[in-house]
Structure 1
Amino acid sequence: MDIMTHDLGALFAQLGLDSDPASIDAFIAQNYPLPDDVKVSQADFWSENQKRFLQEQMLIDAQWAMAVDELNARLHQSQPRQ
């Protein structure tokens, strides 16, 4: 049984990034806005391994997919969260 949380913080940790809320907000602010025609998994700020992980998670609709969707929305939305 998989009891791991698959939220945005856990996704950042999985990607090898600082995963506390302030670090997540700073990462999003630094990379916002992502152009509408760029998928979150194709953004140039990811390493090749990070891109591959994000692509695979969305392709197989894995448990991480909801967190990847949330990150995608936060990087593309018209008004950044405060």
Structure 2
Amino acid sequence: MTVTHNAAQNRYELQVDHGLAIAVYRQQGDARIFTHTEVPPEDEGKGIGARIVKAALEDTRKQGFKIVPACSFVVAYVRRHPEFDDNRS
């Protein structure tokens, strides 16, 4: 399973057993604001959300953008993985 960046729709995508998992962002200057994460209900609890968010955040950093978590799932992920927290002191 490979996470792909769909820049035309401002989201990262991962094809899973029951559909498409996504991590949606809004580009604002030098930041990507992650606004929504969705995994098909049948595929929840399998670590898919974490996989797609990790790939999205790593790619965002690789491209030189700041990470701004706005969706609750990404906020929780960044709390557990502070290396992605651009608001740390």
TM-score, normalisation: structure 2: 0.29
Q: Which has the higher contact order (CA 8 A, sep 6+)?
A: 1
Higher helix share: 1
Higher strand share: 2
